[in-house]
Amino acid sequence: MKKTGMTIDNVKEVYSGAEGKLWELIMGEQIHVGGWGHSRILADAAEITEGQKVLDICSALGAGLRFLERNYGIQGYGLDVTEHMVDEAIIRTARDGQSGRITYKVGNAENIPWGDGEFDVVWGEDAWCYVDDKEKLIQEASRVLRPGGTIAFTDWIEGPEGMDEETAQRICSFMKFPDVLNRKKYEELLGNYGFKLKLSEDLTEEYAGYVEFYIKMLTEQLYFDALKIIGWDEEMFGAMGGEMMFMAQTARKGGFGRARFVAVKE
């Protein structure tokens, strides 16, 4: 698909303002589909073990690393382009008594501010869709991983049935994505940068159900809370709901979805 023109500044605006608060309202601090359970699936598939150094690219509020430190005993490092999210991650990590095991930096996923071979695992959950140059992201992830290290991530993708250009532009513009890849393209990039694929799993069907679940939550339970976040603008709320419904309908047709990947650096 063609680029939407969305930039890092658009991402910063989302996660420093009302939209970021809305996503946290409906998805919780982890801000990814499937919450705790899906983090557990990804961590187990990646065979994460105690003491490993894990870099979470696009670490948001730090909930992914807090989950991994608490349940797997890792040493965590977070990278996010939005200063507000890093500040919040530091506060929440201290609140949860985990500051000694997790640190954060503000930075760009296309130019990771750590040296070669520093990490055992590179981790990401439903966030790399915001990165403009995904090839550079995979290249950088490979660079900072040691030989034999693991990359494990989920992302929102073009589904197995594909999308026409108009649909792709509509969804990506609403979500502030520069573009989305399909599963085959991610597999190709991983192979190009020295990874041996262990897992590539399409999650589009269940993803559609989650989007419908979020819509139901917002309209039947969290209406007041959501309206408060966006300044009581019911017209805006209705328009956003319409875009989310369009996204769910596209997912039901297999056009837009989500996938899970695990690969090892050779």
- The model carries a pTM of 0.96
Strand order in the sheet with 195-202: 102-106, 75-80, 53-57, 119-125, 145-158, 256-265, 195-202
pLDDT, tens digit, 9 for 90 and up, residues 106-150: 999 999 999 999 999 999 999 999 999 999 999 999 999 999 999
SS (H, E, C) 134-159: HHHHHHHHHHHEEEEEEEEEEEEEEC
pLDDT score of 6: 87
Please report, as a single letter, which amino acid is at residue 154.
T
Beta carbons within 10 angstroms of residue 29's beta carbon:
16
pLDDT, tens digit, 9 for 90 and up, residues 83-98: 999 999 999 999 999 9
Torsion of CA 203, 33, 22, 235, to 10 degrees: 30
Angle between helices 18-27 and 8-15 (to 10 degrees): 60
User: So where are the chain's domains?
Assistant: 8-265
| Nearest of 201, 182, 191 to residue 255 by alpha carbon | 182
At which residue do the structure tokens 């430190």 appear? 69
pLDDT, tens digit, 9 for 90 and up, residues 151-199: 999 999 999 999 999 999 999 999 999 999 999 999 999 999 999 999 9
pLDDT score of 8: 87
| Nearest of 160, 179, 175 to residue 255 by alpha carbon | 160
pLDDT score of 14: 87
pLDDT, tens digit, 9 for 90 and up, residues 13-43: 989 999 999 999 999 999 999 999 999 999 9
CA distances from 84 to 46, 68, 182, 198, 232 (A): 29, 22, 30, 35, 24
CA distances from 232 to 137, 223, 235 (A): 38, 10, 9
Confidence of residue 1 (pLDDT cuts 50, 70, 90): confident
Angle between helices 165-175 and 234-252 (to 10 degrees): 130
DSSP3 helix / strand / coil % (the chain, rounded to 5): 50, 20, 30
At which residue do the structure tokens 């187990």 appear? 44
* Beta-bridge partners for 123: 56, 152
Rounded-to-integer distance, Cα 57 and Cα 60, Å: 9
pLDDT, tens digit, 9 for 90 and up, residues 218-258: 999 999 999 999 999 999 999 999 999 999 999 999 999 99
Q: Average pLDDT for residues 194-212, to the nearest whole number?
A: 97
For residues 96 and 122, the answer to whether their CB atoms sit within 8 Å is no
Provide the 3-class DSSP secondary structure of residue 123.
strand
The CATH architecture annotation of domain 8-265 reads 3-Layer(aba) Sandwich (3.40)
At which residue do the structure tokens 């990401």 appear? 124
Rounded-to-integer distance, Cα 261 and Cα 198, Å: 8
pLDDT score of 2: 82
Provide the 3-class DSSP secondary structure of residue 76.
strand
Phi–psi pair at 189, nearest 5 degrees? -60, -45
